[in-house]
Structure 1
Amino acid sequence: MPLTYRVPEPDELEAFMRPVLRGFGDPAPEPHTLDDERVLWEPARSIGALDGDDWVGGTGAFTMDLTLPGGAAVAAAGVTMVGVASTHKRRGILTELMRRQLDDVAAGPEPVAILTASESVIYGRFGYGLATRGVRQRLAVGHARFRPDAPVAGGRLRVMTIDEARAALPEVYERIRPARPGWVRRSPAWWETHVFLDRPDRRDGASALYVLAHHDDRGAVDGWATFRVVEAWPDRLPASRVVAREVAAVDDAVQLALWRGLVDVDLSVEVDALHVAVDDPLPWAVADPRRVRTSELTDWLWLRILDVAAALGPRRWGGAGEVVLEVVDPFRPASGGRFVVAADPDGSGTVTPSEAPADLVLGAEELGALALGGVPPTTLARAGRITEERPGALAVADTLFRAERAPHCATMF
């Protein structure tokens, strides 16, 4: 029987999600798992494969937007719910789902698609580039002495209730977001299901969620850290671990105030932050940087550009210059072509189609990696992934694609 592809009906969530949930080790999801997914789900943005009456693969998307260098945001399709049943691997199902989905996105107002990948080897062949990364940072509490020249914020720290956090955090997040390339808009449903609901079966044996907030001198919240405590008492000695899920602030002084607050959690020996921006100031603000163990540099946000001019035109560039890019896009040729990037010293610029000779030749995957400033073009060229046709063009491109801050995304979807 041939496979068929269609958009699921709103009442087909459980059957549609079955291949994905099984792939993630959940063959019999609890009712609340499906209830949470139903709150987030946008059925019309999903497409699945059927073998007869059985769903055997699918993908979906959330309506989001993505922050670019300089603070502008572009509409983005947040790809999610991707999976193919193990019984139907290597039959081209994922390729067909990706092709149909990208065609649908390209036909709408979103010039980019983004995702967080379960496996980093999958999405490059569909034109997604590794756009943001993060690190794990572990700080030994007994050695967490800050340098005397480290910034100190005014105001105060306070542990919030979940209801207080529900009222305050989304607004603070939006205040912070323009300063960080790679941050995405979080819907109210995302905040509720991924932060505030705090279901016990998602705690991995740790405590309920704490929300540590920083208030400025006027009493307004300007940063927060969400964390759990993994309790331990070897030989009746306190040795708990503070597991920080997110640390976010309007500036570095507040960021460091939150780190200080995490260090001061009673009965703990370590602060373990699972996904921190690669340019976080903590290792440079402590007296003994070796005690900040940085590990697990890993990919996070993958970016697929469908309309080069619309995706990159609003971003701020790293300096003046002009370069002609030839984007080779085998998976979706309509999204490729030649484009001239021209920028002024103030970082404003344009991206327009061009018939001029190419200065640099690169793939769609490489352009996605460059878009937020996470890697210099020269580095990709050294890896054999960009070809320089005009001598000196790579140096110009390095300047253009540079961002003031390292891109980072802490939102899982």
Structure 2
Amino acid sequence: MSGAPTHSPQRSPRLGDPKASDGDRSGESSAGGTDLDYCGCVTNYRFEDFEPTIDEATGEPDERTKAYFASTSVGFHDPRSTDKALVGRVKRAIADGRKLTAVYADQEFGHGLDSTIPVATFAWFEKLVNVGGGRLIPGHLITWITVRPTHRRRGLLRSLMTTDLAEAKASGYPFAALTATEGGIYSRFGFGVATWLRSIEVDTSPGFKMVREPDRRVEMCLPSELRELAPQIYNRFMRTSPGAMERQQTYIERATGALNTETGEEDRGVRAALHFDEQGEPDGYVSYKFAGWSKSPPTVDIIDFVAVTDAAYASLWSFLAAIDLSTRVTFGESAEYSPLPWLLTDSRRVKTVASEDNIWIRILDVKAALEARPWYVPGTLTIDIDDSLDLAGGRFTITSDGENAEVTPASDSTPADLGLGIAELGSLYLGGADPVILARAGRIDEQTPGSAVLASAMFSLGRAPYSPNGF
């Protein structure tokens, strides 16, 4: 595995320390200090890093953890968790290895939220990411970013993000990743959209037919069977799909019916089915639920769908179409380039109702990141990268032998074929964005004629990236 770290990067223990930041806190005070911010209020901000904790004696989250999750619930408009649901959330965070950062402020006015509840939150954790060809690289995944409305425009997001990225780079991560609830926030920190998802509706009314008859080696099972099988099947799938990453605990519990993400409680409406290969081993699964009799037309909603092989993919869709008393199947996390329309005699039965970005990539080490992934097309390309945060910019020459690439720093006197921002490099990294299209949009400067076409061939991973995963 060319360029891949041989061990998980080690993380420094302190995030949010002013000494570790880029020096730009945009009006934010250092820990324990005070500032006169833009509204004229004197505010004292304190940054704390910790791991979610459940008290062994009581079986409940400790007070700091409770306050952190109370803050994220406000930020993401989630209802207040019941005691049982909160314990579940914290246990899943612990299982994922999430590291939390909370920003606290003195209460400015009476009757407001208690000062033990953070005014801003941030979290990160590590998961393996398929960067092509089944090569699995530790990724620095960022999540749970919130800033209370009363404390916006005070540099909190910038301080948290820039400090975290600098520490992740120093710890040896080639790239960071996140999923964004708002699309216009993170490009200024160097993140570029690298994978996409589609929300689809499939008409399964009479007349639904596949061009080729699937093998139909599908059996229904108790959803609880997926607690053990789903991670095994997904780990095999992950190695086939560029951009796929290790799953979080939430996905396992959703698939098994142990978690309804809207209520935080068990979901007894979940059903499941498995596909089996020729040796009788499960190589695909689907979990789903009926949307209710009030929905028209009668609809089955897919909760999770994972297929290691094309045979499993086709047979599971055939199974879903055969479910009685329903004429529509919806799936909110379908691949942007799905084979499903091509499986059907009438491709119009597959309707895309929404398409949106999914994984955003931020390159932290150009050489390590580019040498970690495979390169299927030989060639040489010199790229000039602009990085406003000065974490990974510069001029580099990529020399591919059709399997791996050597990435070397180039001098300023070496002509660049392409000029691009670090966010655009993140979009190209998994082969999901086309350099030709980005050049036409003015996002890439083609300095050598034809270099965008060459880059399009060189950056392709042979299969469009797909990560049925959010965080």
Pick closer, same or farther for the CA change 1:195–1:145 going to 2, 3 Å. Answer: closer
Pick closer, same or farther for the CA change 1:63–1:197 going to 2, 3 Å. Answer: farther
Structure 2: distance between partners of 1:341 and 1:20? 42
Look up the match of 1:319. Answer: 377
State the identity as a percent. 31
CA contact (8 A) 2:241 2:466 kept: yes
SS of the residue 1:71 aligns to = coil
Q: Which has the larger radius of gyration?
A: 2
Look up the match of 1:117. Answer: 180
Task: Please identify, of 100-109 and 238-247, the stretch whose mean Cα deviation from structure 2 is larger.
Answer: 238-247
Structure 1: distance between partners of 2:270 and 2:408? 47
SS of the residue 1:342 aligns to = strand
Structure 2: distance between partners of 1:32 and 1:76? 31
Structure 1: distance between partners of 2:438 and 2:348? 30
Counterpart amino acid of residue 400 in structure 2: A
How many corresponding residue pairs?
A: 405
Structure 2: distance between partners of 1:151 and 1:141? 16
Look up the match of 2:131. Answer: 68
Look up the match of 1:275. Answer: 333
Look up the match of 1:260. Answer: 318
CA contact (8 A) 1:231 1:239 kept: no
CA contact (8 A) 2:371 2:404 kept: no
CA contact (8 A) 2:48 2:101 kept: yes
Displacement of 1:321: 1.0
CA contact (8 A) 1:67 1:73 kept: yes
Counterpart amino acid of residue 283 in structure 2: D
Pick closer, same or farther for the CA change 1:151–1:130 going to 2, 3 Å. Answer: farther
Look up the match of 2:407. Answer: 351
2:221 to 160, 165, 182: 160
Structure 2: distance between partners of 1:334 and 1:287? 50
1:41 to 69, 93, 114: 93
- Residue 226 (1) aligns with residue 226 (2): no
Task: Please identify, of 97-106 and 15-24, the stretch whose mean Cα deviation from structure 2 is larger.
Answer: 15-24
Normalised to the residue count of structure 1, the TM-score between the two structures is 0.91
- Residue 2 (1) aligns with residue 50 (2): no
- Residue 87 (1) aligns with residue 150 (2): yes
Structure 1: distance between partners of 2:319 and 2:427? 35
Look up the match of 2:104. Answer: 50
Structure 1: distance between partners of 2:321 and 2:268? 17
CA contact (8 A) 2:50 2:99 kept: no
Counterpart amino acid of residue 48 in structure 1: A
1:218-269 Cα deviation digits (max 9, x unpaired): 21001111211112268xxx94201112322122222011100001111101
Look up the match of 1:333. Answer: 390
Structure 1: distance between partners of 2:297 and 2:267? 14
SS of the residue 2:360 aligns to = strand
Structure 1: distance between partners of 2:154 and 2:146? 13
Normalised to the residue count of structure 2, the TM-score between the two structures is 0.81
SS of the residue 1:219 aligns to = coil
Q: Which runs of 5+ in 2 are unaligned?
A: 1-42, 54-61, 107-114
SS of the residue 2:245 aligns to = coil
Counterpart amino acid of residue 220 in structure 1: E
Look up the match of 1:100. Answer: 163
Look up the match of 1:369. Answer: 427
Structure 2: distance between partners of 1:374 and 1:7? 34
1:37-68 Cα deviation digits (max 9, x unpaired): 32233688322222124410011012112111
1:145-193 Cα deviation digits (max 9, x unpaired): 3343x3633x611112133211211111111111101110125x34444
Look up the match of 2:231. Answer: 170
CA contact (8 A) 1:143 1:288 kept: no
Structure 1: distance between partners of 2:142 and 2:207? 39
Counterpart amino acid of residue 66 in structure 2: E
Structure 2: distance between partners of 1:407 and 1:200? 28
Counterpart amino acid of residue 47 in structure 1: T
SS of the residue 1:324 aligns to = strand
Counterpart amino acid of residue 71 in structure 2: P
Displacement of 1:363: 0.8
Look up the match of 2:9. Answer: none
Displacement of 1:207: 6.2
- Residue 132 (1) aligns with residue 195 (2): yes
Structure 2: distance between partners of 1:325 and 1:41? 39
1:26 to 45, 57, 78: 78
SS of the residue 1:399 aligns to = helix
Q: Which runs of 5+ in 1 are unaligned?
A: none
Displacement of 1:357: 2.9
1:296-354 Cα deviation digits (max 9, x unpaired): 11111111111111112121224111111111110x20221122111123x32222322
Look up the match of 2:5. Answer: none
Look up the match of 1:305. Answer: 363
Counterpart amino acid of residue 2 in structure 1: N
Structure 2: distance between partners of 1:5 and 1:219? 53
- Residue 400 (1) aligns with residue 462 (2): no
CA contact (8 A) 1:17 1:81 kept: no
Question: What RMSD, in angstroms, separates the aligned Cα atoms of the two structures?
Answer: 2.3
Displacement of 1:36: 2.6
Structure 1: distance between partners of 2:169 and 2:76? 29
SS of the residue 1:384 aligns to = coil
CA contact (8 A) 1:317 1:403 kept: yes
1:270-302 Cα deviation digits (max 9, x unpaired): 011111012211111111111211221111111
CA contact (8 A) 1:328 1:337 kept: yes
Pick closer, same or farther for the CA change 1:336–1:385 going to 2, 3 Å. Answer: same
Pick closer, same or farther for the CA change 1:203–1:317 going to 2, 3 Å. Answer: farther
CA contact (8 A) 2:134 2:240 kept: yes
SS of the residue 1:202 aligns to = coil
Displacement of 1:98: 0.5
Task: Please identify, of 298-307 and 308-317, the stretch whose mean Cα deviation from structure 2 is larger.
Answer: 308-317
2:65 to 13, 17, 22: 13
